[in-house]
Amino acid sequence: MLPLFKKPARTVALAALIAWANPVPLMAQSADGGSFPDRSNTFAGVPFGATLEEAQQKWQLEEIEGASVPDDPVRLYLREEESHVLGGIVAREVVYYFLHGRFYAVSFSTPDTRQTDILRQALDLGYAAPPHANGDTSLVWPGQLVSAQLQVNPATGEGRALLFSNELQTDYEKSLKESAARTAAGM
């Protein structure tokens, strides 16, 4: 079994708690002081579901060329001024997903086992519940507003997190089916 799935050590759990209690600019603060995305329904100050135009008032976004096919409702963006420190971890490869022009999800990776473990424990703390296993290397935390998925590379310990809007999830799944049908027809 991967070290990621062992019971959390007190010191690492405390470090994760401190990281969430003292967020850096990448995390958004909600009106009640809680920064966790499922409570605030935001990431880095932008609400999930915000239009691309609303997000661009806060973020300098650049569309990733070649990441979407024509007529795909999902567009991927990077932020120019992105801070890559997220509490107690280094967030790499931060990508913002917009579905039909609305902020649907954000994904990022962690560089090693230690930081992936910190992220996993922070998600446990933020969601106040352990995750559901989704296969051998994927964990899912269902939230009220924002859910999270963490995939772990067992060979390297690198993690890939996806935080996504529950409100837009049905539309996203519909777009997947439509894209799959177009792909099958085009093969």
Confidence class of residue 59 from pLDDT cuts 50, 70 and 90? Answer: very high
Q: Which residues pair with residue 162 across a beta bridge?
A: 107, 149
Confidence of residue 174 (pLDDT cuts 50, 70, 90): very high
Q: What is the pLDDT of residue 80?
A: 78
Q: What is the pLDDT of residues 112-132, one digit of tens each?
A: 999 999 999 999 999 998 899
Rounded (5°) CA angle 74-78-79: 135
What b/e string do you get for 35-52 counting C-beta neighbours within 10 Å, with b at 16 or more?
bbbbbbbbbbbbbbbbeb
Task: With a cut of 50, say whether residue 31 has pLDDT above it.
Answer: no
Q: What is the pLDDT of residues 4-14, one digit of tens each?
A: 333 333 333 33
pTM for this predicted structure: 0.80
How far from 7 is each of 81, 129, 150, 155, 183, CA to CA, in Å? 36, 13, 17, 20, 42
**pLDDT of the residue at 179:** 93
| Rounded average pLDDT over 44-65 | 95
